[in-house]
Every structure is written in structure tokens, then in C-alpha cells.
Amino acid sequence: MDMGTSSVKLVFLKDGKILYTTKKEHKGNGLRTLDKMLDRVAVPGISLESADTLAAATGSGAAEILQLYPDIQMAEEIPAITEGCRLLCPQADSAIDIGCQNARYITGLRKGGPPQFAINGHCAGGTGSFFESQMVRLNLPMEEYSSLIQKAESIPRLSGRCAVFAKSDVIHLQQEQVPAADIMLGLCYAMVRNYRSVLIGRLPVAAPVLLCGGVMKNQGVVRALGDILHLKEEELVLPDHFEYEQAAGAAVMADQSVSLSDLRLALSRGTAVRKDMIRISKLKAMEQGIKNRAMGVREMDPVSWQGEGLLPDSCFLGIDIGSTSTNLVVLDQGGRLIHSQYLRTGGDPAGAVEKGLDHLKQVLGERLSIKGIGVTGSGREKIGRSLKAQAIRDEITAQARAAAFIDQEVDTVFEIGGQDSKYISLDHGYVRDFQMNKICAAGTGSFIEEQAARMGVPLEEFGPLALSSLSPLDLGDRCTVFIENSITTAQAQGAEPADIAAGLCDSVVRNYLHKVVGEKPVGSHIILQGGVAYNPGIVAAFTRVYGERITVSPVFAISGAFGAALLAQEAVKKESHQTGSHQQRPEPERDSRKDIDAFFQAEELLLKGYDPHLSKGAKTVGVPYALMMHKFFPMANAFFTELGYRVLLSSPTNENTIAMAQSHARNETCYPVKLIYGHMLELAERKVDYVFLPSIHTMKHETSKVRHNYGCVYMQTAPRLVFDELELEKKGIQLLNPVFDLDFGQEAMAQSMLQVGKRLGFGMEDCKRALMAGAAAVRRHTAALEEQGRQVLSRLKPGEKALVLIARNYGAADPVLNMGIPKLIQERNWKLLSLSHLPAHDLDLSDEYGTLCWPFGQHILSGAKLVKNHPNLYAVYLTNHGCGPDTMLTHLFRDEMGDKPYLQIEVDEHFSKIGMITRVEAFLSSLQERETVKQPADFEIKKLPVHPVKLKEAMSVADQIILPDIQPYSRFLESYMKKLGMSPTLLPADLQADIKAGLEETVTKEYSTYTLISGMAVRALRSGYTGQILIPYTQGAEADNQYSRVIHSTLQRIRPGRLSVLSPCLERLPDTAMDLKGLFLCLLAGDLAMEAEYRSRQKQPCPVVSLTGDPMTLMTFGKPVIHMLRKQGYMLRIQPLTEFLLFLWMDLAETKEEQMRLKPLEEYLQMAGKKMGIYNPFADNIRTLMWEADQVLPKFAGGGGRYRFAKTEQERKLAKGVISMAPQYENTEMILTLKEGAGGCPLYRMSFGNRLESGDMDRLRSFLYYI
């Protein structure tokens, strides 16, 4: 019996042969469905009640069967699939298994022992539900997928990582009129690329490969697997019963007799609802006053209704072409509604508009006289031009115009549509600020629609069903797929549909408020617009937060079209018949044109002196046009040219670069790093002899006061990682990969480059001459950029607004990473500068960001300060999806900008071009309406206000310290502090409350450890604690370097002066601790207590499992895992905190004195280890760990990565299995995964989001099965 996320499957097996199979979708009622299926089973020649009937249950819902019928045998996921695959195809060596919400890869099947395997995490991007949601988007039946793709003529590039990202791509392709068959085939290839990258990764693909799971019905997926994995047709095996592999495996594993009649009797009793499901307060129906203001419009095909206006001689047509719906509105000259329609876009925007116009003619006939047309929405450009519309405007402007017309006092607009959601702040009818959802659709209408369909609830009944709930479920407020998982789990645990529906309404609203509105101001006159206002459950969730401050617009469903019609009327009045997405500034004068084009001259300055045709016949040094080569290329070009080499720079990033990167990258790094794969592959194709790309360990920042300034963890490691991954050495290419420690000055960089020259066989004099040429080239380039910026700023007219693109230098310059934003701005005749044009690289931020050790972060925040201080500069801020430091910089940047509007866009390989254009146009439009400010005569751009923020690092006796309760360490720390004369207060642990409080302070994909720690601090503040809360920080390139700084700002924003942050630097504790020995022994007591608390008491031998990873994750989110392992009798070796710290300190001990100070602490660990005997979790010699780290990560700073790598690899030699724990999305964990060794015992990398999902434990149990 396989009870999965969407269906129940039964397999009857006898003598190794499958006799009978059956399958049925359960719509959330798995146990009832299983009962009915067993009632109808008829297997010829077999008595189902015989004593020798053996049975086992598997799948995500199997635990619910066990709860009702404890005698049933449980078969874990991977073991069941493995045995099922061996049954279905004994000759197969690997298996690709893709179901509705789960995907797995298994290899080593023929070996007979434990296989190697990978399981998808929380995301359903590479699963069946991914295709399901896209087919709904295309308005096509799922069963026709395979036949339709036969008509495909091309394979467009789409996102396969996330179902929501893919929707944006599908919409864009539909609007480009790409045939549906091509889009569908593109989805297959996108999904398989994602599967190979995320699941297969570095595991071997050994043929024959068995294909199983329901997705294999899709011939497009089978075709894509063959192409992308380079497998021949005969190497892919699609067996009979390929959908039943897990159920078949459970039958193979079954060794317990059951009575099926007793099982059915137990099932008939129904599910015992789990008591531990988190609940929230009941939703209340909207107040009558609000209800009366909402239009009770029922959908028709097409929907139309008459308004109050009478048909005049001339009227105005507004059209809103959205991803889900297309709306048409006709207004009279007084803005009164004459007629409106609400149609489904259905993947054909042009067809929907044509249908609406035809209906308009039928209803209004010859009396219709359209004087002006306004078009908005994602399909506005093409359709607006074809209709010769007077106004083609972005959705923000249209929605704002509609709201201001309806209510002149409105100051805030919440608009939630099918795919996008928007927040708009208005000041007297003009857009002051706005925010749109960052691609994710968890806070939009399409999400509700899809979940209603999955639950089998008609959409119009969903809201009333939610309001009927007495005890709604807390489903979280995360990404679509996470909430889907929560729904699936809740259904399996017997939750009522009404409770799920109400929880879902609450989740959508919370997601919107946390991720879209965030810290933006919400006024006293809020108008709710967009199709979700049809849902009374959503409206109730909003009114619970804002009460009478929020009203539903009377034109909520057609507000975009309504606003477009008003904009058309204004355009006609102004006699401005200019078409185009934005009312552009007039064509500028010659000097001004030069300044507008200045941004694009930066590349000319970078490449000055570069000639790829020089030194023909000489050996070629290839330089990837990526990362820091956007700064150091002049140096590399001059250096290698001077030595007589031909220098070849890879092409600027283009479609070919992206395609090669996507086809070879094996893990989900940030986009800039992924592109290195494409650049290196291009150079390999062009037959270079060498690839030059330095690793950046530290970077120079003149005014920084921290000990070292670090490059990000990818900059420290990516060149070697990518080169080795691509196996370019086998192609005869050598990697020139000096490690730059720029913090140690020009001499350190010079030494690194001299070593490169020496490796190439040149003498010292030749190398010095080349180095001088390189250094001079960098100086010239830097000076030229700054001079260009000075000139542009000096020529700004009084009150003239200009934009600054704030991003890392490669993010601003790369044509793909900047997403074409500079070009968009240039086309609209706005001046655009980059950070390199401003004096942002030498500002001293140490008084405000004393712990910040990221040079790029310092530059970005310097840029924010300069822009905030300049009356007419405005920022366009680019962040990178998947970048840990950016999750913290996003908070700090927001704080710096205060109430000055800026545009933030997240860079990702799967971005929506249409959504990006909308954001840029809306931002420019809002700036046009914003008052100009005259620059003071004595204005100096570098004369900035300073707001000192000094986080206390060293503890003193007078401190009133709030100590988060992280046991067993907290109780020893509390005792230690009291002995020193302090008065610590323990903040009781409450993981769920802390996560909930922390989520309210998240704005992007912050690590779960940040969510938890910020939640602790916020809960302490709201509970009345005063003093200083202890939040240590680390030096290095990981996000946790700025946890304490961001949390400090959060606390001061919520309630200034009540609670501050005590933030000791972990690496500097040997210098700052009042009593280092006492502190170390205190933490060592915690390590010993941790081991004693979880040590197995069984006398018989039991498997040894080692736990390693991020210490904070291990001590908090990892506790339930530790408890489960202990309960099951495993002997645990838990990574000691003291060893982690001592490794950090020894790594940074530069003098003999510093090293000797640590010697006694090392001896304490050795003594403790000897006392513990076979339970010893400590390394015999910590220096062996350092040696192990030196072999793979010789220079690495971030997240304790060197120690974590070495400790994990050492434990793999000592234990039966190792579980490494880390926060989800952590960059250091990604590096450690890529650097993982091949030898030793099985290793399971367990990443934690903000809650432990049932799937996490299922995956863990499969791992444990084989050890």
C-alpha cells in the first residue's frame, strides 16, 4: 500500500510476480480512499483473508495507517522504491523516480547493497505537480500532454526550478505567441535540467536507467532525459507497472501477516486528528459596511455588467491584460462605469481582448464611440500598439489612478491579482512608493485557485468554507510549495477542509504583508483591489489585521482596466497621443545625451588596450568575463600581454553562455557563479591553453576597521570548483588561480601574480615588469570611471533627477545580470550612474557598521548613503537570489534609505522580463510625479550625516544580559556569568513562538537561524525584557556576520532604547573574554552534557551516527532529530561546540603568543576525550582537522566552513553514518556539498527551513535504514 501526496496505490504480489495493481486519487482523504479500494479488490486465485497474507504500507500517508492499525509494517520510502525497481527491472543500475510532489534518484541498484540516492527537498519544481500547474495555466488537459508535444518545433528556455518562476516564463512566451506545444516541450527540458542539477548532481548515471513514477507518462520528459543525460533510447527502460514501484517494493519487503478485514475495520473508524497541529484564531466575516462596498459580481463567459453611466457621444475604453484575467471597462467622461467585462486570459491575451471587443460591440452596438483607449497589464505593449492606444501604462500607475478616483483620501492600496501582488503608497493621488511581489505567487490569487482545485473545492465555495472554520490551521507564510506541503501533511493528519481553507486565506494575507508590504507605511485609508477580493475569507483575513481602515474597492475586480480608462481620458485631455510604456522625457540635448549613454561607456574603459588578435601564434590565456574580472581585467590583460601571451576574454554573457551554464552546473549556486560554467566552457571551445580566474579570499577596503574584509564564499572557491567540475584539465587546459589576499595590501597581490608568472616559467624581472603594467592599467581604469561620474553629476541641471544602479560591479556591468535595466532606462532618456561613478569605495562606515567585513556590502551601503543624501539621485538596487549576505544587506539598505523611494529587484536566472519592465516603468513614473528639490549651493556629496551604532562586544559585570535558552549550554553559561558577578536572565525557549515572531521580520530568503534568533530578540522585547540580549557574530563571508547588526536595528525600530544587543565576536573571544579559561570550561561542560544527555544506554552494540554542521542549527532545529535518534537507540557523536571554537581561534592565531595561549585549551579537549572513551566526540588532535581542511579549503572564511568540512570528513571514517545539519539556502553548506569527498560512510545533508516538515523525517528514515 503506497499512500502518497495525491493518490493511493495497491500492488498484490505472489512468487515475485505482480498479480494486480490499482490506483485512485484521494483528494486529501487517503484513509477513506484506501478503505474503499480494499473493499473493491478482487485478485483471482487469492484469498485476501488467508493467514499468509503479508502487507506493508509506504508513502507520505503511511504513518496515518499505522496510527489506526499499529500491526501494519512500515516500509521507508527509498528502501521500498529500491526493492520495487529491482523487482520491475533487475538489470537496471539507476532509477529516476518522479511523482506528484516527490522526486528521487537512485544508483547502484545492481550492487545488491545500499544504493546511493538523492531526494528532492521541499520544492516541487521537478515533480508532477509542476506540470499540473502549467497545464492549468495553458488551459489544457493533462492527459493530452504527450500527444501535443509531438507538434513542437522548438525548445524554448524556461525555468524548471520553481513552478512559480515557470509561470512567469509561460506567460511571457504566450504573449510572444510561442505555440503551446513548444512551451510544453520547453517545460519538460526545464524540469529535467533542474532534476539533473539538484538531484543527480555529482552522483554517477549508470545505464540501464529505470524510469518510474507517474511523470513518466509524459513522453516529453522521457525525451528530455535522453537528451540531457546523453542516454540512448535503449538505455532508458520504461517497464510495466512503472507507476507502482514504491507499492511493489513495499510488497517485496512485507514480512508481517495482517488481517485485511481488521485493517478495513480500523480504517472505517476514520482518522484520529492530530492534536499537535498549530491553530490560529477564527476568521470573522467582513463587516456589513465593507460588504456593501464590494461588488457582488459573478463570473460569466465573458463576464459583463452595466454601470451607472449612460452611453454618451464619447467614452473611454480601459483594458487590463493580466496573466489570469483580461478586463475591459468603458467609462463616460465623468468616470462613471458604462460597461465592464471580466474574462479569462487562458494563455491567449490577444484572443481574450478580441473576444471582449466583439462582446462590447454586441452589447453597445453602433452607439459606442471610443474617444480614447488605455491599456495596462503584462500584455500591454503589443496589444496597446495594435489598438493605437493613447495610454499604455504600467499596472502600478493604473491601479493607483483607480484607487484615487474611487476614494480621494486613499493613502494605501493593496492589490492582489492572479500572478502579481502590489503595495502602493499614495500622497494626494500620486504614487509615493510601491512594492511588488518578488516573483513568488504564494501571496496571489492563482495560488488559492490551484489549492482549491487540489482540494476538490469549487472556487466560489472556498471563501465561505474558510469562514465556516472554527479552528483554522497555521500553514505558514512561505513559498507556494512549502504551503502545499503543509496542506498535504494536514490532510494526511485528518484536518478538516474548512480549517485548511481558512489557514490558506490567512497564509496568503500574511505572505503578502510580510513579503510585499514589509516595513512600508500602511495608512489609515486602505483600499483592497484585485480578484482575490471575491474571496470573503481573504477579505476577512485582511480586516482582522486592519479593521475599518481597509475597504474593498467597488471596482476591485476591474480596477486595473478602470484606471487605464481614466489614464486614457487624461492623455486625450493633454492631447498627448504618444504611445509607449512610459511618457518619456523629451529627446535630450547633445551633452545630456552623452551623460545618458555614460553608463555604457564603462565597458569601453574596462576593455581599453584589449586586442584579442594580438600575439597570434602565442599561447592563449582565456579570461572568463565574470565576477571580479569586471574590475581586474585591465590588470590581467596588461600582465599577460606584457609576458607575450594572447589574451582572450570570453563573450559578454548571452543566451549561449546561459544555456551552457544550465546544462553543466550541478548545484543551485547564485546566478553570477553559475554563469562561470558558461564562460569557462566557451573558452574551452575556443581552445585556450590557460584559464585565468583568481580566488578572492580577502579584499582591501581602505576605511574598514575590521581585522579582515572577505570575499564571499563563492569568490573564495568558485574558480577551482567550476574548473574541476568541468574537467577542463583533461582537455589540456591549465587553471591559473592565484588566491588574492588583498587585505594585506598591494604587495600580497603582487606576490600572488609573481607566482603565476614564475609558474609559467618567467624570471622575476619579466614578472615585475608585467605586474607594473597591470597595476597601472587598473589605476587608469578606476580613475577614468570616477572622473566620468564627476562629470555627469556636475552637469545635472538644478532639480534634475538621475538614477544610480547599486550592485556589485559585475552585477551592474553584465548584460544578463543587470537584466537589461540600464538599456530600459537609457531608452527613456534618464541618466544612469553606477556605484563606480560615485565616491562610494572610500567612505568610512565603521561608526555605523563596525562589524561589517564584506567589501561589497560596504560599497553598497555607501552607495545607499550617497543616494539618500543627494536630493535628486534615486537608487535601483540589485540583489542576487540565493546570496546569503544579500539577505542581510536588504534590511540594512532599507534602513539607510528611510522614506526615500528606491527600486529593488532580485536578480535570478528565471526572472520575468515583463514584471521587471513594469517595476522600472512604475518607478520612473512615480519619480516624474515626485517634486524636484533644488540642490543647495554648498552641497557636497561626501558630506554625510553619521548615526553611530556601536554594538557592545565585551561583557562587563554591570551588564544586564538576556541569555537565550539553548540547552544544555545556557544553564552553564548562566552559572558562569553569576560567578563573575553578572546578573543574567534566561529567556525561556519557545521555538514556535520565536519562529513566528522572526518570520514577521523577514523580507526575503533569510536563513532559518536568522529567523529564529531575530524571533528570540523580538519576543524578549515584547515580553518586557530590558538590557542586552546576547547575540554573538562571526567574522567571515556568511550572513551571520550581520545577524546582530540587523537585529539591533529591528529592536530599535519596534521600541527604541528598551533592548540592545550584546554582540561578542566568536573569533575574537580569546582577546575579549573576561575569563577565557572559565568560559571555555563552561562550554566544554555543555558539550559533555550534550553527549551524556543523548548517549544510548543500551549495552548491546548499536550503530554510531555522527552529527555535524552549523552549531546553531544543530543545537536548535536539530534537537527533534537528536531526540528521535536517541529514542531509536543510535549511539551519537555530536560535534562539540568547544572544538568548533578552538579550531576558529587556532586558524586565526598569527603570532607565537596567540598560539601558546590556546595550548591549554587544546589539552582540555584531549583530557575530556580520553575520559569519554568510546563515546569521545573530539578529534584526537585538532591539528589533524586543520590539515584535512588545508587539503581542500586552504583559505576559506565563512560559516566555520573549514572546520565543518574537516570534522564531517573525519567522522565519515569513524561512524556508520553522518548527518550534517545547516540552514536551508546557506552558501557555506553549498560549498561543502560541492567539495564533499567520495570516501567514507554515507553522509546525509539535512537542511532546515523554518519548520521541520514531515518529509524531512521521511528522508532521514530512508537514510538511517541503510546504516
Higher pLDDT, 307 or 423: 423
Angle at 182 between CA 181 and CA 186, to 5 degrees: 120
Nearest-CA neighbor of 1016 among 1055, 1044, 977?
Answer: 1044
Beta pairing partners, 312: none
Q: Binning pLDDT at 50, 70 and 90, where does residue 262 land?
A: confident
pLDDT in tens, 890-946: 999 999 999 899 999 988 876 667 778 888 999 999 898 888 888 777 788 888 888
Helices (H), 832-912: 855-869, 884-897
Assigned CATH topology for domain 592-600+797-926: Rossmann fold (3.40.50)
pLDDT in tens, 377-389: 988 888 999 999 9
- CA 1080 to CA 1076: how far, in whole Å? 6
At residue 836, does pLDDT exceed 80? yes
pLDDT at 618: 87
Relative orientation angle of helices 1076-1094 and 1137-1148, to the nearest 10 degrees: 140
pLDDT in tens, 1114-1159: 999 999 999 999 988 899 999 999 999 999 999 998 888 989 999 9
Q: Binning pLDDT at 50, 70 and 90, where does residue 438 land?
A: low
The grid coordinates listed for 1094 are 543523548
DSSP class of residue 376 equals: E
Q: Binning pLDDT at 50, 70 and 90, where does residue 30 land?
A: confident
Distance of CA 1128 to the CA centre of its chain: 34
- CA 75 to CA 58: how far, in whole Å? 5
Question: Three-state DSSP class for 755?
Answer: helix
Write b or e for each residue in 298-314: b if 16 or more Cβ atoms lie within 10 A of its Cβ, otherwise e.
Answer: eeeebbbeebebeeeee
Nearest-CA neighbor of 665 among 505, 877, 882, 852?
Answer: 882
| Weakest-pLDDT range from 1005-1019, 1057-1071, 1091-1105 | 1091-1105
pLDDT in tens, 657-675: 998 998 888 777 889 999 9
Higher pLDDT, 1058 or 1097: 1058
DSSP class of residue 760 equals: T
Higher pLDDT, 952 or 49: 952
pLDDT in tens, 998-1030: 988 988 889 999 999 999 999 999 999 999 999
Question: Three-state DSSP class for 878?
Answer: strand
pLDDT at 585: 58
pLDDT at 1250: 81
Query: How high does pLDDT run on average in the chain?
Result: 86
At residue 271, does pLDDT exceed 80? no
> What DSSP string describes 726-742?
TTGGGGT-EEE-PEEEG
pLDDT at 167: 67
Q: Binning pLDDT at 50, 70 and 90, where does residue 1184 land?
A: very high
- CA 332 to CA 506: how far, in whole Å? 38
Give me the CATH code for the 1-87+244-272 domain, please.
3.30.420.40
pLDDT at 730: 95
Tell me the mean pLDDT in the region 859-863: 94
The grid coordinates listed for 822 are 540600464
Beta pairing partners, 304: 341
**Which residue has cell 535518534?**
1125
Architecture of the domain made up of 288-573: 2-Layer Sandwich (3.30)
Q: Please identify, in words, the CATH class of the domain defined by 90-238.
A: alpha beta
- CA 1188 to CA 916: how far, in whole Å? 46
| Weakest-pLDDT range from 602-606, 682-686, 803-807 | 602-606
Answer yes or no: same fold for 90-238 and 288-573: yes
Q: Residues near 345 by Cβ (< 8 Å), separated by ≥ 6? A: 321, 322, 323, 324, 325, 326, 352, 379
Q: Binning pLDDT at 50, 70 and 90, where does residue 305 land?
A: very low
| Weakest-pLDDT range from 6-20, 194-208, 377-391, 818-832 | 194-208
pLDDT in tens, 553-565: 999 989 999 999 9
pLDDT at 1186: 96
pLDDT at 123: 57
| Weakest-pLDDT range from 288-302, 697-711, 1011-1025, 1111-1125 | 288-302
User: What percentage of the chain has pLDDT greater than the value 90?
Assistant: 48
Beta pairing partners, 342: 303, 327
Our separate counts of H helices and E strands in the chain read 47, 39
- CA 1148 to CA 1157: how far, in whole Å? 12
At residue 392, does pLDDT exceed 90? yes
pLDDT in tens, 567-602: 999 999 886 444 444 445 556 666 667 777 888 888
Give φ, ψ of 346 to 5 degrees: 60, 30
* Residue 108 burial (CB count, 10 A): 17
Assigned CATH topology for domain 601-783: Rossmann fold (3.40.50)
* Residue 825 burial (CB count, 10 A): 21
At residue 877, does pLDDT exceed 90? yes
Tell me the mean pLDDT in the region 36-44: 85
pLDDT at 291: 41
pLDDT at 1254: 63
At residue 287, does pLDDT exceed 60? no
| Weakest-pLDDT range from 357-361, 513-517, 944-948, 1104-1108 | 513-517
Q: Where are the domains of the chain?
A: 1-87+244-272, 90-238, 288-573, 592-600+797-926, 601-783, 961-1072, 1090-1265
The grid coordinates listed for 554 are 467597488
Range picked from 17-31, 744-758, 920-934, 1214-1228 for highest mean pLDDT: 1214-1228
Q: Strand order of the sheet with strand 303-306? A: 303-306, 337-344, 325-331, 315-321, 370-377, 391-392
pLDDT at 902: 93
DSSP class of residue 1145 equals: H
pLDDT at 428: 86
Tell me the mean pLDDT in the region 860-883: 93
pLDDT at 581: 47
**Which residue has cell 507605511?**
521
* Cβ pair 520, 433 in contact under 8 A: yes
pLDDT in tens, 1171-1182: 887 778 999 999
Q: Binning pLDDT at 50, 70 and 90, where does residue 745 land?
A: low
Longest C-alpha distance within the chain, in Å? 98
